[in-house]
Amino acid sequence: MSQGLSLIFGVIGIINFAHGEFLMLSMYLTFWLFQLWGIDPYISIVIVTPLFFLFGFATQKVVFQHLIKAPHLSQIFAAFGLVIVFQNIALFFWKADYRMVKTGYSAATVHIGALNLSFPRIIVFIMATAVTLVLYLFLKRTYLGKAIRATALDPDAAALMGINPMMIYCIAFGIGGALCGVAGTLLVPIYYVFPTIGAYFVLIAFVVVVLGGLGNVFGAFFGGLLIGITEVLSGYFFTSSFKEGIYFLIFILVLLIRPSGIFGLGKT
């Protein structure tokens, strides 16, 4: 549960290595909004999310749009280029220091029966559930959502139906960016911010996506829950330095045993 939010950005199926860096930047933005103007992280969701929608949109427009027809390799490496650029921008401007926002509720806990739950994590869980539902409804019910799904299945056929695939890619990327924005603001009260934090989270995000099955909204939600549980358990049994190794192991195992994900429908 503690990690329930990692599913948020696991939802889009674009294999974008730079996703973690989006998250890192959104965390920095939230951090500075708090530091400079004292805006509470939960309020800054309203500011950060639209900004990151634009940011994601722009990234697709400027970089990936030109690589749609390029081989897989080029796309992956363009993403790596972005990773290097963003990470080092953060390093350049804000140094390698670990920073954290101290709010009144960072350490607050809520008692439900015998359980002690930390307040920010409950917020994360609620928001994660809400975002999952909204996203699901958006993809299933709205015209734009349907257009996104159609484009994902067959861009050429979608284009014949009057959908502009290029625009859809930009919007999908924008939504991915916006979700990173939400995740970033929610994470700031819990985690330290530093330039390479993205790498840590993007890994978890990939595990979640693979666990839940690519492009499966609810799959990603449950994948997130599973990783949350694993984190708690592995923290209990192993030293923390091994914890990261455990994620990788789970990741490899899942990829090998169920490449289509636990909730995937067995397609290859």
The residues binding other proteins (CB under 8 A) are 15, 63, 66-67, 70-74, 76-78, 80-85, 87-92, 95, 195, 203, 206, 210, 241-242, 244-245, 248-249, 251-252, 255-256, 259, 268
Chain centre to alpha carbon of residue 253:
22
Q: How far is CA 198 from CA 84, 110, 122, 167, in A?
A: 11, 29, 22, 27
Of 66 and 141, which CB lies nearer to other proteins in the complex structure? 66
| Bridge partners of residue 193, in order along the sequence | 99
Of 154 and 244, which CB lies nearer to other proteins in the complex structure? 244
Q: How far is the CB of 256 from other proteins (least distance, A)?
A: 5
Q: How far is the CB of 12 from other proteins (least distance, A)?
A: 14
Distance (Å, whole) CA 16 – CA 63: 12
Of 81 and 141, which CB lies nearer to other proteins in the complex structure? 81
Of 69 and 111, which CB lies nearer to other proteins in the complex structure? 69
| Bridge partners of residue 110, in order along the sequence | 117
Phi and psi at residue 172, in whole multiples of 5°? -60, -40
Q: How far is the CB of 224 from other proteins (least distance, A)?
A: 18
Q: How far is the CB of 208 from other proteins (least distance, A)?
A: 13
* Cα-based torsion angle of the residue sequence 158, 163, 164, 169 in order, rounded to the nearest 10 degrees: -70
Q: How far is CA 238 from CA 81, 227, 235, 245, 255, in A?
A: 34, 15, 6, 10, 23
One DSSP character per residue, 108-143 reads -EEEETTEEEEHHHHHHHHHHHHHHHHHHHHHHHSH
Contact 19, 203 (CB under 8 A): no
Q: For the chain, give the number of residues.
A: 268
Both tokens assigned to 230 = 């694993």
Contact 79, 219 (CB under 8 A): no
Q: How far is the CB of 105 from other proteins (least distance, A)?
A: 33
Q: How far is the CB of 70 from other proteins (least distance, A)?
A: 5
Of 63 and 262, which CB lies nearer to other proteins in the complex structure? 63
Of 71 and 104, which CB lies nearer to other proteins in the complex structure? 71
Of 145 and 259, which CB lies nearer to other proteins in the complex structure? 259
Q: How far is the CB of 74 from other proteins (least distance, A)?
A: 5
Q: How far is the CB of 16 from other proteins (least distance, A)?
A: 10
One DSSP character per residue, 25-59 reads HHHHHHHHHHHHH---HHHHHHHHHHHHHHHHHHH
Unique residue bearing structure tokens 């029966």: 113
Of 92 and 143, which CB lies nearer to other proteins in the complex structure? 92
